[in-house]
A and B are shown apart, each in its own frame.
Chain A
Amino acid sequence: QLQLQESGPGLVKPSETLSLTCTVTGGSISNSGFYWGWIRQPPGKGLEWTGTIYFSGTTYYNPSLKSRVTMSVDTSKNQFSLKVTSVTAADTAVYYCARLPYWDRSGRPRRNLHFDYWGQGVSVTVSS
């Protein structure tokens, strides 16, 4: 059974860098049939896609966050990570990691189709 688990500090100071890691168990992050992504949910608001990464290291970011977001993958540890720089209170959210399929039902390759497995999320508060 595939499982994803987010980890990282629950409190980050304004202007600092938020760093989170997602550990994948029950499956390989190097499987070419999947992408891996981060989604966040600020308090009282809807979900927001943050970024997506392929095991090769190719990344795709939400344009609204692109200048502050970096994702990376460590295939040896079966983990992928998220960094958000220069954080403000607006970055306070529950952060989820998730898996995305590489192919649609018709066998066409597509980025950002849907998120089929999610972690339980980690709450991050930006405050001094």
Chain B
Amino acid sequence: QSALTQPASVSGSPGQSITISCTGTSTDIGGYNYVSWYQHHPGKAPKLIIYEVSYRPSGVSNRFSGSKSGNTASLIISGLQAEDEADYSCSSYTGSSTVIFGGGTKVTVL
């Protein structure tokens, strides 16, 4: 099963909003509301920031939001801050009860 498709990099200035897309198929993103997003600073444990498309775990900033339309999910980071510079990966539950990830997106704060 192919990985979900994410842009390799996205950049923005402090205070701006950016959107990271994650494209799959009808057997993963399009078929289920089980998309999650992870923030990963190098050398640290990845952190869950969005689950079930649009829900934030306790303690995650409300500057992070998620949505889905058809086979594409999106992570929006508003009020971009220097600490948001990290890698972001999406994942989705699939019809065969497995999970697949995207290739990851590097966010740069200019």
Contact = CB atoms under 8 A, between A and B. Distances in A.
Interface of A: 4, 39, 45-49, 60, 62-63, 96, 98, 104-105, 110-121
Tell me whether chain A's interface is mostly helix, strand or loop, or mixed. Answer: loop
Contact of B89 (A46, A105, A113, A119): A46
A112 B48 CA distance: 14
Contacts of B57: 116
A41 B15 CA distance: 31
A67 B19 CA distance: 38
Contacts of B109: none
A116 B48 contact: yes
A69 B10 CA distance: 35
A105 B101 CA distance: 21
B101 A114 contact: no
A49 to B, nearest CB: 5
B51 A113 contact: yes
A114 B101 CA distance: 10
A45 B98 CA distance: 19
A47 B51 contact: no
Contacts of B94: 112
A117 B49 CA distance: 11
Given A46-B103, A62-B98, A113 B45 contact: no
